[in-house]
Structure 1
Amino acid sequence: MKALEQEIKELILSSLSLEDLGAADIDTDAPLFIEGLGLDSIDALELGLALQKRYGVTMNGDKEEMRARFASVAALAAFVASHRNSEASA
Protein backbone atom coordinates (compact mmCIF):
# COMPACT_ATOMS: atom_id res chain seq x y z
CA MET A 1 0.00 0.00 0.00
CA LYS A 2 2.92 2.35 0.67
CA ALA A 3 3.97 2.19 -2.99
CA LEU A 4 0.45 3.05 -4.11
CA GLU A 5 0.29 5.94 -1.64
CA GLN A 6 3.59 7.23 -3.04
CA GLU A 7 2.25 6.95 -6.62
CA ILE A 8 -0.87 8.89 -5.65
CA LYS A 9 1.20 11.61 -3.98
CA GLU A 10 3.24 11.97 -7.18
CA LEU A 11 0.05 12.01 -9.25
CA ILE A 12 -1.34 14.80 -7.07
CA LEU A 13 1.83 16.82 -7.54
CA SER A 14 1.99 16.37 -11.31
CA SER A 15 -1.72 16.65 -12.13
CA LEU A 16 -2.21 19.76 -9.99
CA SER A 17 1.17 21.35 -10.83
CA LEU A 18 2.18 21.69 -7.18
CA GLU A 19 5.78 22.52 -7.96
CA ASP A 20 6.59 23.94 -4.52
CA LEU A 21 5.94 20.59 -2.83
CA GLY A 22 7.49 17.15 -2.87
CA ALA A 23 5.83 13.81 -2.18
CA ALA A 24 7.42 13.80 1.29
CA ASP A 25 5.60 17.07 2.07
CA ILE A 26 2.20 15.39 1.71
CA ASP A 27 1.02 13.65 4.87
CA THR A 28 -0.66 10.38 3.90
CA ASP A 29 -3.39 10.77 6.52
CA ALA A 30 -3.88 14.55 6.38
CA PRO A 31 -6.99 16.01 4.74
CA LEU A 32 -6.56 16.93 1.09
CA PHE A 33 -9.19 19.67 1.12
CA ILE A 34 -9.57 22.87 3.12
CA GLU A 35 -7.12 21.92 5.88
CA GLY A 36 -4.04 19.86 5.15
CA LEU A 37 -3.11 20.28 1.50
CA GLY A 38 -5.81 22.91 0.95
CA LEU A 39 -7.19 21.68 -2.36
CA ASP A 40 -10.48 22.99 -3.78
CA SER A 41 -13.30 21.62 -5.97
CA ILE A 42 -11.45 22.36 -9.23
CA ASP A 43 -8.48 20.40 -7.89
CA ALA A 44 -10.85 17.53 -7.05
CA LEU A 45 -12.07 17.41 -10.65
CA GLU A 46 -8.55 17.43 -12.05
CA LEU A 47 -7.37 14.80 -9.58
CA GLY A 48 -10.41 12.64 -10.30
CA LEU A 49 -9.64 12.73 -14.03
CA ALA A 50 -5.99 11.89 -13.38
CA LEU A 51 -7.01 8.92 -11.20
CA GLN A 52 -9.40 7.71 -13.90
CA LYS A 53 -6.69 7.88 -16.57
CA ARG A 54 -3.98 6.27 -14.46
CA TYR A 55 -5.92 3.59 -12.59
CA GLY A 56 -9.14 3.18 -14.57
CA VAL A 57 -11.29 3.92 -11.54
CA THR A 58 -14.73 5.42 -12.01
CA MET A 59 -15.69 8.28 -9.78
CA ASN A 60 -19.35 7.42 -9.32
CA GLY A 61 -21.23 7.82 -6.08
CA ASP A 62 -23.02 10.34 -3.98
CA LYS A 63 -21.45 13.40 -2.42
CA GLU A 64 -20.63 11.65 0.86
CA GLU A 65 -18.95 8.69 -0.91
CA MET A 66 -16.84 11.06 -2.98
CA ARG A 67 -15.92 13.11 0.07
CA ALA A 68 -14.81 9.93 1.87
CA ARG A 69 -12.72 8.73 -1.10
CA PHE A 70 -10.93 12.08 -1.41
CA ALA A 71 -10.44 12.56 2.33
CA SER A 72 -6.71 11.80 2.25
CA VAL A 73 -4.00 10.04 0.26
CA ALA A 74 -4.63 6.94 2.40
CA ALA A 75 -8.35 7.01 1.50
CA LEU A 76 -7.59 7.39 -2.21
CA ALA A 77 -5.10 4.52 -2.05
CA ALA A 78 -7.66 2.30 -0.32
CA PHE A 79 -10.24 3.17 -3.01
CA VAL A 80 -7.83 2.42 -5.87
CA ALA A 81 -6.69 -0.81 -4.19
CA SER A 82 -10.28 -1.98 -3.70
CA HIS A 83 -11.01 -1.18 -7.35
CA ARG A 84 -7.98 -3.23 -8.40
CA ASN A 85 -9.04 -6.14 -6.18
CA SER A 86 -12.60 -6.14 -7.54
CA GLU A 87 -11.29 -6.14 -11.11
CA ALA A 88 -8.88 -8.98 -10.35
CA SER A 89 -11.66 -11.13 -8.91
CA ALA A 90 -14.04 -10.41 -11.81
Structure 2
Amino acid sequence: MDDGLLGELRIKIIDTLNLMDVAPEEIEADAPLVGGNLGIDSIDILELVMMIEKDYAVKIDNKELGARVFASLESLARYVGENTPGRSN
Protein backbone atom coordinates (compact mmCIF):
# COMPACT_ATOMS: atom_id res chain seq x y z
CA MET A 1 0.00 0.00 0.00
CA ASP A 2 1.27 3.47 -0.90
CA ASP A 3 1.67 5.27 2.45
CA GLY A 4 2.10 8.56 0.61
CA LEU A 5 -1.27 8.12 -1.06
CA LEU A 6 -2.89 7.18 2.27
CA GLY A 7 -1.56 10.38 3.84
CA GLU A 8 -2.59 12.45 0.85
CA LEU A 9 -6.13 11.04 0.95
CA ARG A 10 -6.39 11.63 4.70
CA ILE A 11 -5.65 15.32 4.18
CA LYS A 12 -7.99 15.59 1.18
CA ILE A 13 -10.84 13.94 3.14
CA ILE A 14 -10.36 16.39 6.01
CA ASP A 15 -10.21 19.38 3.64
CA THR A 16 -13.11 18.26 1.42
CA LEU A 17 -15.44 17.56 4.32
CA ASN A 18 -14.20 20.41 6.55
CA LEU A 19 -13.32 17.99 9.36
CA MET A 20 -11.07 20.54 11.03
CA ASP A 21 -11.31 18.83 14.43
CA VAL A 22 -9.87 15.60 12.97
CA ALA A 23 -6.12 15.02 12.67
CA PRO A 24 -4.94 12.99 9.65
CA GLU A 25 -3.54 10.23 11.87
CA GLU A 26 -7.00 9.78 13.43
CA ILE A 27 -8.29 8.35 10.14
CA GLU A 28 -7.34 4.70 10.45
CA ALA A 29 -6.54 2.89 7.21
CA ASP A 30 -8.78 -0.09 7.93
CA ALA A 31 -11.64 1.61 9.81
CA PRO A 32 -14.99 2.07 8.05
CA LEU A 33 -15.30 5.45 6.36
CA VAL A 34 -19.09 5.50 6.17
CA GLY A 35 -20.85 5.25 9.50
CA GLY A 36 -17.56 5.14 11.38
CA ASN A 37 -16.06 7.56 13.87
CA LEU A 38 -15.83 10.35 11.29
CA GLY A 39 -19.59 10.57 10.82
CA ILE A 40 -19.33 10.40 7.03
CA ASP A 41 -22.72 9.99 5.34
CA SER A 42 -24.00 9.60 1.78
CA ILE A 43 -23.84 13.36 1.07
CA ASP A 44 -20.21 13.39 2.20
CA ILE A 45 -19.47 10.45 -0.10
CA LEU A 46 -20.84 12.45 -3.06
CA GLU A 47 -18.41 15.25 -2.20
CA LEU A 48 -15.55 12.75 -1.96
CA VAL A 49 -16.49 11.17 -5.30
CA MET A 50 -16.32 14.61 -6.95
CA MET A 51 -12.93 15.28 -5.32
CA ILE A 52 -11.55 11.89 -6.45
CA GLU A 53 -12.78 12.46 -10.02
CA LYS A 54 -11.33 15.99 -10.12
CA ASP A 55 -8.00 15.34 -8.40
CA TYR A 56 -7.21 11.84 -9.68
CA ALA A 57 -9.30 11.48 -12.88
CA VAL A 58 -10.79 8.31 -11.39
CA LYS A 59 -14.48 7.52 -11.92
CA ILE A 60 -16.70 5.94 -9.29
CA ASP A 61 -19.84 5.63 -11.33
CA ASN A 62 -22.19 3.30 -9.47
CA LYS A 63 -23.40 2.63 -5.96
CA GLU A 64 -21.99 -0.91 -5.71
CA LEU A 65 -18.51 0.25 -6.71
CA GLY A 66 -18.78 3.19 -4.33
CA ALA A 67 -19.68 0.90 -1.44
CA ARG A 68 -16.55 -1.18 -2.09
CA VAL A 69 -14.25 1.78 -2.70
CA PHE A 70 -15.38 3.76 0.35
CA ALA A 71 -15.42 0.77 2.71
CA SER A 72 -12.19 2.09 4.28
CA LEU A 73 -9.34 4.50 3.59
CA GLU A 74 -7.23 1.52 2.55
CA SER A 75 -9.76 0.38 -0.07
CA LEU A 76 -10.08 3.95 -1.36
CA ALA A 77 -6.30 4.32 -1.67
CA ARG A 78 -6.01 0.95 -3.41
CA TYR A 79 -8.71 1.87 -5.95
CA VAL A 80 -7.25 5.32 -6.61
CA GLY A 81 -3.73 3.91 -6.90
CA GLU A 82 -4.81 1.23 -9.36
CA ASN A 83 -6.97 3.51 -11.51
CA THR A 84 -5.25 6.90 -11.64
CA PRO A 85 -3.83 7.49 -15.12
CA GLY A 86 -0.04 7.66 -15.01
CA ARG A 87 0.29 6.66 -11.35
CA SER A 88 2.69 3.84 -10.65
CA ASN A 89 1.79 1.67 -7.67
8 A contact 1:30–1:37 mirrored in 2: no
Which residue number in structure 2 is paired with residue 25 of structure 1?
A: 26
Partner of 1:78: 78
Give, in angstroms, the shift of residue 66 of structure 1: 1.3
RMSD over aligned Cα atoms: 1.7
Instruction: Determine the structure 1 residue equivalent to 2:15.
Output: 14
Of Structure 1 and Structure 2, which has the larger fraction of its residues in helix? 1
Structure 2: distance between partners of 1:82 and 1:2 = 14
Write the letter of the residue equivalent to 2:67.
R
> TM-score, normalization: structure 1?
0.87
Is 1:43 the counterpart of 2:44? The answer is: yes
Identity of aligned residues (%): 36
* Unmatched runs of 5 consecutive residues or more in structure 2: none
8 Å CA contact retained: 1:57, 1:83: yes
Count matched residues: 87
| Alpha-carbon distance in structure 1 between the residues aligned to 2:41 and 2:22 | 17
Question: Which residue of the partner structure matches residue 34 of structure 1?
Answer: 35
**Taking structure 2 as the reference length, what is the TM-score of the superposition?**
0.88
| Distance in 2 (alpha carbons) for counterparts of 1:69 and 1:40 | 14
Q: Which amino acid aligns with 1:28?
A: A
The aligned residue for residue 55 of structure 1 is: 56
Deviation per residue, 1:2-36 (Å, 9 max, x gap): 00011000000000000001101111110001123
